[in-house]
Amino acid sequence: MMFTQIDEKEITRAIIHEYHAQLDSAVESDVIIAGAGPSGLVAGRYLAQRGYKVTIIERNNYLGGGMWIGGYLMNKVTLRAPAQAILDELNIAYKEYKPGLFVADSAFFASGLIRGACEAGVTFLNMTIVEDVVVKNKVLTGLVINSMPVTQLPRMITCLDPIIIESKLVIDATGHDAIICRLLGKRQMLESKGMGPLWVEASEKEIVARTGEVFPNLIISGMAVSEKCGLPRMGPTFGGMLLSGKRAGEIACTALETKQRETTK
């Protein structure tokens, strides 16, 4: 087998050119999603499939959040009906353990959701942290982001200013951290109650029901809803997060359509 002959410098140029073109494009999006876990990936896919420009920020090197492992380091994940419909859309295999309770391999589950978002056209900026928020006239208009490795270095040897990216809407899908809610809370602009003790039934139902806009241009989804609203935690099951992500996508679509109508009046 003969590979194409390419100078090593062209490999470097390809990486630099394509990455910076992607970063330049991500400076302005329709929707920025913080967090590439289950709810963020589902919301991103939903929006991108409908033609919206979506950028997902993820602080880890990998995408998928906690989906790669289930409870107690066992690589099986569970979900309850009707959330399996999302797995059907993505051709992710699962088995019905008991009526309405489904089990999937965590690797298949996580990689399937990631692939679905990628194929829909979502842009990812991983190894990136949300350092702050941009608020103008009491409206969220963007995020302040920085390189995640900077946070691991002592202050006396590093000082790296962040950059700003803007969007029409932001979705906080950062899970238990609820980072954007907490950043707004530091300025007394938004109150978060903190997550309650585990109760699967109440948690999943209420997380989906209370997914929505909690600050102008900020939608919360997944476990960030629990942290913001003081809802019970759901433990090692993922149906609520998938359906919360879909709901966040639906709410964002409606909001973007409304914004579009207002600008064309």
pLDDT in tens, 139-188: 999 999 999 998 888 877 777 889 999 999 999 999 999 999 999 999 99
Contact predicate 245/41, CB 8 Å: yes
Q: What is the pLDDT of residue 84?
A: 98
Is residue 2 marked as binding? no
Is residue 39 marked as binding? yes
pLDDT at 131 over 80: yes
Q: How far lies 193's CA from each of 49, 182, 197, 203, in Å?
A: 34, 10, 13, 15
Q: What is the pLDDT of residue 125?
A: 99
User: Using CA atoms, how far apart are residues 104 and 92, in angstroms rounded to an integer?
Assistant: 8
Q: What is the pLDDT of residue 154?
A: 84
Q: What is the pLDDT of residue 222?
A: 98
> What are the tokens at 173?
């899908």
Domains and CATH numbers, the chain: 30-68+107-264 (3.50.50.60)
Is residue 17 marked as binding? no
pLDDT at 64 over 90: yes
End-to-end CA distance of the chain: 61
User: Using CA atoms, how far apart are residues 94 and 78, in angstroms rounded to an integer?
Assistant: 9
Is residue 192 marked as binding? no
Backbone angles phi, psi at 131, to 5 degrees: -95, -30
Burial class (CB in 10 A: 0-12, 13-18, 19+), 82: exposed
Q: What is the pLDDT of residue 153?
A: 83
User: Using CA atoms, how far apart are residues 210 and 170, in angstroms rounded to an integer?
Assistant: 16
Is residue 233 marked as binding? yes
Backbone angles phi, psi at 149, to 5 degrees: -60, -25
User: Average pLDDT, stretch 69-98?
Assistant: 97
Is residue 222 marked as binding? no
> What are the tokens at 18?
């394509």
> What are the tokens at 262?
């207002």
Is residue 185 marked as binding? no
User: Average pLDDT, stretch 97-103?
Assistant: 98
Is residue 66 marked as binding? yes
Is residue 176 marked as binding? yes
pLDDT, tens digit, 9 for 90 and up, residues 17-40:
999 999 999 999 999 999 999 999
pLDDT at 240 over 80: yes
Q: What is the pLDDT of residue 44?
A: 99
